[in-house]
């Protein structure tokens, strides 16, 4: 299929109590691992691209990275029969506009550095453009922090307030809303719990599908409860890096190995297995 806007699947997931997996890719093999897993599980899927992935793929040039990923995503979607959306994660306005022009079907505008009022105004402006192009626009209220390379967190956590979420959605017409419930980006062990009572209050206050960032560090029990309470898009990155790298490391055990296909192939296969497991876990298998 061509790349599609997965908003109808997100709304269906909301009605039926499951979630669409949004899986991060940094390389060609990782994009392939995701769409092959989705095909095997007959699941709708989001291939998710971070700013740092753009810099990697574009050799330091984010716009070049966007062009590469738009083309790779398009070919990957066309190689399978399940619906695939291409999502740009945590982007500024310039990147959001460029991604939409290049064929991304989903974008996240991160106005976290702006005041609440400025974030509302800029998100509303980008939403109007996104909707004219049939692109799904995600934005964030509150902030999901990032752990450092060692997996530690120094920042204070700013959780989302239900009244802010309700006002933000009403003013911006955003399609999906990322909220801060206590999860942290880049945590390597499943030790974090979510503020589920806060999620219950936010879900009662807003109608749009809610998004969980930083799921790799959250206990599966809390992700599952969160999905039942209205999380409809679950972002998964760190767990995939772990699987991909473990696959490569296993194939590199012999010091004489020099053929990139002999470690990138196993890395792709290992990540695809992890994506299949997560698709099943969030309840998206068979929902394409």
Name the residues annotated as catalytic.
89
CA quadruple 151, 152, 154, 156: dihedral sign = positive
Query: Least Å distance between CB 170 and Zn ion?
Result: 23
Find the residue with minimal CB distance to Zn ion.
213
Would you give the end-to-end CA distance of the chain in angstroms? Answer: 12
The CB-of-68 to Zn ion minimum distance in angstroms stands at: 21
Q: Report the residue number, 213 or 233, with the smaller CB distance to Zn ion.
A: 213
> Which distant-in-sequence residues (6+ apart) come within 8 Å of 198 by Cβ?
159, 160, 162, 181
Question: Residue 260 in 3-state DSSP?
Answer: coil
Q: How far is the CB of 62 from Zn ion (least distance, A)?
A: 17
Distance in Å, CB of 284 to Zn ion, minimum: 19
What residues have CB less than 8 Å from 223, skipping those under 6 apart?
194, 212, 215, 231, 234, 281, 282
Q: Which residues pair with 234 in a beta bridge?
A: 21, 212
Residue among 36 and 234 whose Cβ is closer to Zn ion: 234
Cβ distance to Zn ion smaller for residue 80 or 181: 181
- Cβ atoms within 10 A of the Cβ of 9, count? 24
For Zn ion, the closer of residues 53 and 270 by Cβ is 53
Residue 231 and residue 199 in contact, taking contact as beta carbons nearer than 8 Å: yes
Cβ 255 to Zn ion shortest distance, Å: 37
For Zn ion, the closer CB: 156 or 258: 156
Spatial CA neighbour of 129 closest among 147, 150, 144, 107: 107
Q: Give the x/- contact pattern for Zn ion in 181-220, rule: CB under 5 A.
A: --------------------------------x-------
Count the residues of the shown chain that bind Zn ion, applying the rule CB under 5 A: 1
**CB hemisphere CA count around 286 (13 angstroms):** 4
Structure tokens at 18: 């499951």
For position 233 contacting Zn ion by CB under 5 A, the verdict is no
Where does this chain bind Zn ion (CB under 5 A)? Answer: 213
């Amino acid at each position: 299929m061509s790349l599609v806007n997965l908003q109808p699947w997100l709304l269906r997931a909301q009605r039926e109590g499951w979630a669409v997996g949004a899986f991060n890719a940094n390389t060609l093999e990782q994009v392939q691992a995701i769409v092959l897993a989705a095909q095997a599980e007959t699941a709708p899927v989001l291939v998710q691209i971070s700013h740092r992935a753009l810099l990697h793929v574009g050799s330091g040039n984010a716009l070049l990275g966007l062009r590469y990923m738009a083309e790779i995503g398009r070919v990957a979607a066309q190689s399978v029969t399940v619906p695939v959306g291409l999502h740009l994660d945590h982007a500024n306005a310039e990147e959001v506009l460029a991604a939409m022009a290049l064929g991304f079907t989903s974008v996240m505008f991160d106005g976290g550095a702006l005041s609440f009022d400025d974030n509302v105004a800029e998100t509303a402006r980008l939403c109007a453009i996104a909707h004219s192009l049939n692109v799904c626009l995600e934005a964030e209220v509150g902030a999901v922090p990032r752990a450092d390379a060692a997996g530690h967190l120094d920042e204070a956590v700013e959780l989302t307030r239900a009244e802010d979420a309700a006002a933000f959605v009403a003013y911006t017409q955003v399609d999906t809303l990322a909220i801060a419930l206590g999860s942290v980006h880049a945590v390597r062990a499943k030790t974090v719990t979510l503020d589920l009572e806060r999620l219950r209050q936010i879900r009662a206050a807003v109608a749009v599908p809610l998004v969980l960032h930083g799921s790799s560090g959250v206990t599966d029990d809390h992700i599952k409860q969160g999905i039942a309470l209205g999380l409809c898009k679950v972002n998964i990155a760190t767990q995939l890096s772990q699987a991909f790298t473990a696959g490569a490391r296993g194939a590199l055990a012999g010091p004489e190995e020099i053929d990139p296909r002999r470690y990138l192939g196993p890395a792709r296969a290992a990540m695809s297995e992890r994506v299949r497991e997560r698709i099943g876990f969030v309840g998206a298998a068979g929902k394409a």
